[in-house]
Structure 1
Amino acid sequence: MPKVLISDKLSPAAVQIFRDRGIEVDFKPGLSPADLRAIIAPYDGLAVRSATKVTRELLDVAPNLKVVGRAGIGVDNVDVTSATARGVVVMNTPFGNAITTAEHAIAMMFALARQIPEASASTKAGKWEKNRFMGVELTGKVLGLIGCGNIGSIVADRALGLKMKVIAYDPFLSEKRAVEIGVEKVELDALIARADIVTLHTPLTEQTRNILGRDALFRLKKGARLINCARGGLVDEAALAEALTSGHLAGAALDVFETEPATDSPLFGLENVVCTPHLGAATAEAQENVALQVADQMADFLLTGAVSNAINMPSVTAEEAPRLKPYMELARLLGAMAGQLTAAQDGAIKAIRVEYEGHAAELNHRPLTAAALAGVLTPLMGAVNMVNAPVLAKQRGIDVAETTLERSGEYQTLVRLTVVTDKYEKSIAGTLLAENRPRLVEIKGIAVEADFAPHMLYVTNQDKPGFIGRFGTALAEAGINIATFHLGRSAPGGDAICLVGLDGPMPEPVLSGVRKLPLVVQATSLAF
């Protein structure tokens, strides 16, 4: 009988789901890290919210652990890398609290516009400072959404009901989808220039960290207001405090902070700031939804091997897994490469096409396409899995097409991924060697035979003498060791591709130097 430990507060209904399905469950919220490490060894599953920290040290003393279920979206409290290395599946519940979080953002907007927290405190203190609290109407104001996915689109719907004008910046939002939900798609600079109120609804990634830094904050309209119910780290809090105290911004409302629990902040002493302790998902309905979802998902996995909403593992049935596994890895790697190249060029994705030839065409290709989509979307959206990738693509109006060709061409099996943006169309193709080793065979129609490596450098250049020598010298002088080196070209003297496997990450200063070399058109660091 599988055994599950619930170490954070979850609905009693979740406990009952495990028991009804024949799983032994212990409910022990509030354990200290030391106490949790002392008892974790015999458990097959661990269900958590945000209080429990699933660290490498905890995983080291959990030899039986097979799955960690996070009742909620964020997995910041789970060391996903260490869990993956130990074969532990990490699941979340990505859609259980979307409405609740969106409603909290709307509530924060009202509180900020009418100074409700300060007015309440003043009135309770026996004062009657009616003239002190002069608010603003939301009707007719321009609301700028940074991120217009599941939560952002719900906020947009509520704001349109308030007769606000809604504009949105989201690299994945198509014009078609924008029209469907009633928002105007704009670039970030345009949003900053036009918005009366800015609200963030994007995950924290390397691309979005400090997306509203000092420069952006001071380019907002004078008197604008800012709301962040998404993730700490999206806004430079020190710069925000400066913008508020200087009078450039009229106010800010934050539910999330760079460091949590947030016990000290330059924002806390400001009257024009509303703060809540990460309450975006804190409603009875949301808590119930995510608790029931995580219990069902964990029970399915422990009893049948089915995987859903996994952060670090494809979602497939137990019967399909052995055969599909190498193909899903190939699709994921192709998607990850295409996604990183797309992120580097800041293109809004309009369509993704996946073609299957030979043996790949005979398989259930839905999980393969989902793996490819997850690879494409992850670089700009954070952790995306096979279950939510198709949903996220649909929400952003990305057209996804699959084509199968059962006869084999040059390769017995081939998967080709094409990404179409508003700026270009690019394809990447790969095959399997010995039926289990992913290998890259084509980029942008150019034949390039290369194995995937954890760290790679992708360079496009003009095919002229001298490039390879200068390129190799630049890496050598920087102390960068080349593990593998692959070249391809469209025609003599035409476009060329250089794909280099590295022993470690490419330092940004070295990458900048490569981009400045003669004949280099593009240089992008890749990680798999």
Structure 2
Amino acid sequence: MAPKVLISDKLSPAAVQIFKDRGIEVDFQPDLGKDKEKLAEIIGNYDGLAIRSATRVTPTILDNASNLKVIGRAGIGTDNIDKDAASKKGVIVMNTPFGNMITTAEHAIAMMFAVARQIPEASQSTHAGKWEKSKFMGTELTGKTLGVIGAGNIGGIVCDRARGLKMKVLAFDPFLSTEKANKMGVEKVELDDLIKRADFITLHVPKTEQTANMITAERIAAMKPGVRIINCARGGLVDEVALAEALKSGHVAGAAFDVFAEEPAKENPLFNLPNVVVTPHLGAATTEAQENVALQVADQMANYLLTGAVENALNMPSVTAEEAKVMGPWLKLAGHLGSFVGQMTDEPIKAINILYDGAVAEMNLDALNCGLIAGIMKRANPDVNMVSAPIVAKERGIKISTTNQDKSGTFDGYIKVTVVTSKRERSVAGTVFSDGKPRFIQIKGINIDAEIGAHMLYTTNEDVPGIIGLLGNTMGKNGVNIANFTLGRNAVGGEAIALLYVDNPIPADVLKTLDGTGMFTQVKPLAFDVA
């Protein structure tokens, strides 16, 4: 059955066509996002939800989203999506961080020009028939120092444009290396140094616990007299009340804001102050940007629903279409390994240790970790998936550790997972053969070569004669057909294991019969999702 996507906000018709061209059923209801009751009523019918800013995805909406797999936000900001609730529900949240980068950067530059030359006030005065030429004395940008807070995608473009304007650029960004800063032609500095030296300051960071109200009254007081501040990033980065006071006192010569702590902003401390330029969150508001983000979100959602590729996700590792092709069998293997130890473990898990060896160690380990942890967690919660599994594990206090190493054995690559409980450690390893089929290659340190099937039987016993016959005869007498039979032992007469791949679930009375023979220390049926 083709996936179904609901578009509940105004989106480009070209985006609708992308879904249709990819064979995805699309329901375009551009005004539905404003009706949260109706949205909650019908959201359970869809695999994907494409939105802009009007739709609010609340826990109530998500509670009703029984089939939802992905939410795509055409734009950068996802404040209108409850990402914690989406993650717990196992729903991927994507945005489109690159479609409006240039547009937003250009708006910041335009706002900087506007506040430097008092263009809005001068325009309003001239429209009113006044000719107040001497009143609007501006300042040049050339030769001035611009402080850029956040030198990522958008901030980086602002840096480039500012250098073209012959400005000296200071950049504060914890993730900016000195080498990268040198290549960009900017000076990497600490925030307090930037605050003291800049003539203009522009912000380009997301709003997080660390960045909320980062421009405090104290930092404003430490700025150069006559500084001008531009914010086209997110509301709430600047103490607006403190800034308003600094503007009134003249310590800050001007400000240009496109975003505000409360939006839509009908009232704000910055409104109606001289030399304050304000716009209603227009950073991404160009025809080109709106088209770009709409097409990008449609492509991303279609790729995920049809191929499993994850791009620009905010609550799980991204997996490109190319990675998905190569990693597909390894992701299946990771899930099977997790499922094995999950089904074998009855007591609370304290830690999960994952080893990646050889070729697989070069792959997207974050994504593989999510798949493996999901396999483990499904035993306790069948609805868990790659998105929600790490959250479930964290909530239970399970420690996750990952190790990767160069090729160290017979196989080009393998994955080994060890689950630690208060009573024992249990491990299993697997690989992917050249035919693309995952295999178990080691259980409890005992080497095997076992094909993985939907229905399996795992047994442990002392290495004595007769086990093969006992298992075969018991299965045959009860009409259970064996597709594959694998044995292994740690030493002659030591501990031995058997792993049977059978065509159908093994009846309970057959398991009871085997257990009653006294020949086995463990008889455990297993089930794997091999679809």
Name the TM-score, length of structure 2 as normaliser. Answer: 0.64
Letter in 1 for 2:99: G
Could you tell me which runs of 5 or more consecutive residues in structure 2 were left unpaired when the two chains were aligned. 339-352, 370-385, 388-402, 418-424, 430-531
Task: Please say which structure displays the higher CA radius of gyration.
Answer: 2
Letter in 2 for 1:323: L
Aligned twin of 2:8: 7
Match of 2:228, SS? Answer: strand
Distance apart, 1:189 and its partner CA:
1.5
- Cα deviations across residues 438-457 of structure 1 (Å, max 9, x unaligned)? xxxxxxxxxxxxxxxxxxxx
Give the Cα separation in 2 of the matches to 1:145 and 1:239.
20
Match of 1:144, SS? Answer: strand
Aligned twin of 2:80: 77
Compared CA separation, residues 291 and 324, structure 1 to 2 (3 A): farther
Contact 2:103–2:285 (8 Å) recurs in 1: yes
Contact 1:43–1:65 (8 Å) recurs in 2: yes
Contact 2:416–2:428 (8 Å) recurs in 1: no
Contact 2:361–2:406 (8 Å) recurs in 1: no
Distance apart, 1:296 and its partner CA:
1.0
Percent identity (aligned): 64
Distance apart, 1:435 and its partner CA:
5.1
Compared CA separation, residues 222 and 39, structure 1 to 2 (3 A): same
- Cα deviations across residues 275-332 of structure 1 (Å, max 9, x unaligned)? 111111111111111111110111112222222221112234244433346999xxxx
1:201 aligns with 2:187: no
1:293 aligns with 2:296: yes
Letter in 1 for 2:240: E
1:20 aligns with 2:21: yes
Contact 1:201–1:229 (8 Å) recurs in 2: yes
The 5 Å alignment of 1:23-422 reads 23-31=24-32, 32-316=35-319, 317=324, 318-324=328-334, 359-363=356-360, 365-368=362-365, 404-407=405-408
Give the Cα separation in 1 of the matches to 2:186 and 2:334.
40
Letter in 2 for 1:178: A
Letter in 1 for 2:358: A
Distance apart, 1:413 and its partner CA:
6.8
Letter in 2 for 1:287: Q
Greater CA drift, 304-313 or 11-20: 304-313
Match of 2:305, SS? Answer: helix
Give the Cα separation in 1 of the matches to 2:302 and 2:201.
41
Give the Cα separation in 2 of the matches to 1:53 and 1:275.
25
Aligned twin of 1:469: none
Distance apart, 1:137 and its partner CA:
0.5
Could you tell me which runs of 5 or more consecutive residues in structure 1 were left unpaired when the two chains were aligned. 329-355, 373-384, 387-401, 416-431, 437-528
Letter in 1 for 2:14: A
Contact 2:235–2:260 (8 Å) recurs in 1: yes
Distance apart, 1:165 and its partner CA:
0.6
1:434 aligns with 2:427: yes
Letter in 1 for 2:427: A
- Cα deviations across residues 184-236 of structure 1 (Å, max 9, x unaligned)? 11111111111000001111111111111110011110000000111111111
Contact 1:358–1:407 (8 Å) recurs in 2: no
Give the Cα separation in 2 of the matches to 1:359 and 1:185.
37
Give the Cα separation in 2 of the matches to 1:53 and 1:326.
36
Distance apart, 1:246 and its partner CA:
1.1
Give the Cα separation in 2 of the matches to 1:80 and 1:284.
28
Letter in 2 for 1:172: F
Give the Cα separation in 1 of the matches to 2:317 and 2:357.
17
Distance apart, 1:19 and its partner CA:
0.8
Contact 1:8–1:52 (8 Å) recurs in 2: yes
Match of 2:296, SS? Answer: helix
Give the Cα separation in 2 of the matches to 1:322 and 1:146.
42
Instruction: Please tell me the root mean square deviation across aligned C-alpha atoms, in Å.
Output: 2.7
- Cα deviations across residues 338-378 of structure 1 (Å, max 9, x unaligned)? xxxxxxxxxxxxxxxxxx99643341533116889xxxxxx
Contact 2:356–2:405 (8 Å) recurs in 1: no
**Count, aligned residues:** 363
Distance apart, 1:92 and its partner CA:
1.2
Contact 1:17–1:292 (8 Å) recurs in 2: yes
Aligned twin of 2:517: none
Compared CA separation, residues 296 and 222, structure 1 to 2 (3 A): same
Match of 1:40, SS? Answer: helix
